[in-house]
Every structure is written in C-alpha cells, then in structure tokens.
Structure 1
Amino acid sequence: MTRDATSFDALYKAEPDPWNYETSAYEAEKYRRCLALLPRCRYPRGLEIGCSIGVMSAEIAQRCDSLLALDFAQTAVARARARGIPNARFEVATIPAEWPAGRWDLIVLSEVLYYLGPAELDRTVTLVAKSLAAGGCCLVAGYTGPTETTLSALDVQDRLLHGLAEAHPRHAIYKDRDASWIAAIFECRTCPAGG
C-alpha cells in the first residue's frame, strides 16, 4: 500500500504524534546516530523530505545554515512550523512531482522513500542525484520491521545509493544499523567548481 497525502493528513489530525517522535527514546537515539554519520559539522543548504511534525528537523537545522523541510501532510507541516525553528522553512509538497529547484549540500530522506511506488522512487533518485551539490551528502534511513509498504528500507536504500553512485562516481558511503532500522550517508566527493 502507498499512502496518499489525504490519509496521512487524517492520521495526523487523529493523533498529533502518531509515531511518538517527541517522546520516544528510540527515535531520539536513531536521530543522534544518523546525524553522527555526517562527515561535516555544517552544511549551507539542507533539504529534508518527509519532515513530519519537525522533530528530526530541529536536529538537522542545527547542522545547516538554512533548511527547507517538506511533507505532503498539511497538518504535519503546520505542527512543524509551530516549532519556530528560525533557520528552517516548512512547506507542503508532494515528491517527486514538487521537487524544489536548486542544489543542496545536505539531503535527508528518513523513513519516507518506501512510501513511494517504484516509478516515483526512480524519479526521486534521479532528482536527488541531480540536485546534490558537489561535496554534498545525502542521508537515507528506514525502518526494517514490518510495514504496509511494497518496498522495504533495504530496497530503497540500495536503489538510492546505486543511483547516486552512478551519477557521482567519486564518493564515500557510511552506514549504521540497529535491530529495526538502517541508515546510510552518501558523500559526493566531487570538488566544487574552482575548488
């Protein structure tokens, strides 16, 4: 099953924090370990896809000069905005159709890609590869337990890393995993123009 924006919005209206992002020690530790994989302390422009209610966004924003965080559930985005993170902008958008223009030094895709269909995933991988800045990083993370999705966390991670490696042959990959989640960082090692 691939959920649509309407079903996710209904979920957030019924339960403000349906996955206990704000209170779960498990989630806090996962965020910490995912962001610890990042090879740089600071990123000028960050993009987060599937920001939900903005709990992880607050952590990502601490590593970015500016962060654009997207989700297709309007209720979730409203809750994220209410956090008042000064260097973060939260917008309603459906990916891949409304992928934002520009180059990004950090792209975060945490527990979101397996909600896409195969064709949407392929398009998203292409967009990530095209918009990752020289020297930039992409973080992908996913839950490995049972889900309602057709694609698994390992499926989407493998497809993303493969697509990024084809587009950016000079790269490094860093991985972490726990009993129920996996995460990987793809670091593009192409030098910035003139650098």
Structure 2
Amino acid sequence: MSLSSDYFERMFDASDDPWSFRTRWYEKRKRDLTLACLPKQRYQRIFEPACANGELSALLAQRCDALLCQDINHKAVDLARRRLAGLAHVRIEQARMPADWPEGTFDLIVLSEVGYFLDAREWHLVIEQALRSLSNDGAVLACHWRHPVEGCAQNGDDVHAALADRLPMHRLVRHEEPDFLLDYWCRSPTTIDLGETFESSRV
C-alpha cells in the first residue's frame, strides 16, 4: 500500500528539510552524481515528480529549456517555488502520482527517491505512464535508497528491478553503491557527443 499524504504532512510539519537535502554531504554528492550521469548537456523538457523542497530541481533547471516539478505536499510545493523563484521556465504543481500524471511529452523524466513510497501496482502504473510520456529520444533517470524505509513495502532494489523489467529501453548508466542505485535508460543506445562544446549555465 502506498503511504498516505499524512506521512508527508508530518515530515514537512517537523522540518522544511526533512531528509536534510540541503545539509548532508551524502545528498549533495548524490545530486552531483545524478547530474553527471546525464549524457546530454541540455534537455528540452524535464519532468521531476516528488520534487520535495526543490534542491535537485534547482540543478535540473540549469540543464533544460522547461522543467515541470510536482509534489504531493503543499508545503513542499511552496518551498520548491521559493527555491526556484524567478525562473520563468520552471513550473511547480501539487499533484499525486500516478493519478495526476501530466499531459505532454518529456525528453527526460527524473524518478528520484519516490518509487518505494508507492506500492508495486502504483509503481508499475508510473512506469507505464513514463513510457507513454517520453519523446522519441526520451530518457528515464532513477535514483533510490537501497535500505528499508519505514512503512514502505518496497526498497530501492525492488523499484529498480521493476524499471529494468518494464522499460523496453537501453540502460546507458548503472551506478551501484551499498546505499543507493542510480540508472539511466534511453530509447536509443546513444553516447555522449564528443564534439559538443561546453555551454555555461543560462540559469
């Protein structure tokens, strides 16, 4: 069974940063690895569900022309909006997966620390929706904690096993540590363009 919205209400009532995204070296390093695993310098349209207080979102915003973020919790949405204030190409909405999946297509969907909060049935629906929402050269990046999470039936290994089983895509990147998994799937087995020149951030 998926965790109720009350769980996240309690988390954000207790702290603006309930998972210490802003202060823990583990979280900063994981964000840096996440961004480093993206083979494209820039994406047209990125979707990040479960954005929490927007720490990863702020970095994704530097790598795309349009970013859509969602979170189930109203306080998380407010925090993320403040974190990314002034960025016209970013939209942040309150929504619940998988029921409130957005319309349109994306060339990158980032599923970070979200899968184990859903039961297996809902997670499978998320994977199906992600596939339907990807552009022709779209990609999925997933990153999840591997240890048990209180109240959750799945862990990171379960979440990534379902992705590997249900995404008919090429896995370009696999980063595995005792604490977390990071995978990047793409529709085509593309590699980094070695002739591409570096662009400084436009954000």
1:114–1:152: 8 Å Cα contact kept in structure 2?
Answer: yes
Partner of 2:199: none
Q: Deviations over 1:40-79 (max 9, x none)?
A: 1100000001100000100111111110001101111110
Residue 70 of structure 1 corresponds to 70
Q: TM-score, normalised by structure 2?
A: 0.87
User: Residues 73 and 94 of structure 2 are in contact (CA less than 8 Å); yes or no, is this contact kept in structure 1?
Assistant: yes
What do the CA deviations read for 1:69-117 (whole angstroms, capped 9, x no partner)?
0110111111000111502211000000000011101100001011101
The reply to whether residue 101 of structure 1 matches residue 103 of structure 2 is: yes
| TM-score between both structures, scaled by the size of structure 1 | 0.91
Cα distance, 1:10 vs structure 2:
2.5
Counterpart-to-counterpart distance in 2, 1:183 and 1:124: 18
1:1-195 to structure 2, matched below 5 A, reads: 2-83=2-83, 84=85, 86=87, 87-148=89-150, 149-165=152-168, 168=169, 171-189=170-188
May I ask how many residue pairs the two structures share in their alignment?
187
Shift of residue 132 of structure 1? 1.2
User: Gaps (5+ residues) in structure 1?
Assistant: none
Contact 2:50 2:70 in 1 (8 A): yes
Secondary structure of 1:147's partner?
coil
Distance 1:135 1:190, change over 3 A: farther
Structure 1 window deviating more from structure 2 (73-82 vs 83-92): it is 83-92
Give the whole-Å Cα distance in 2 for the aligned partners of 1:177 and 1:56: 19
Cα RMSD (Å) of the superposition? 1.6
Which 4+ stretches in 1 moved above 4 angstroms? none
Counterpart-to-counterpart distance in 1, 2:120 and 2:162:
10
Structure 2, unaligned runs of 5 or more: 191-203
Q: Percent identity?
A: 35
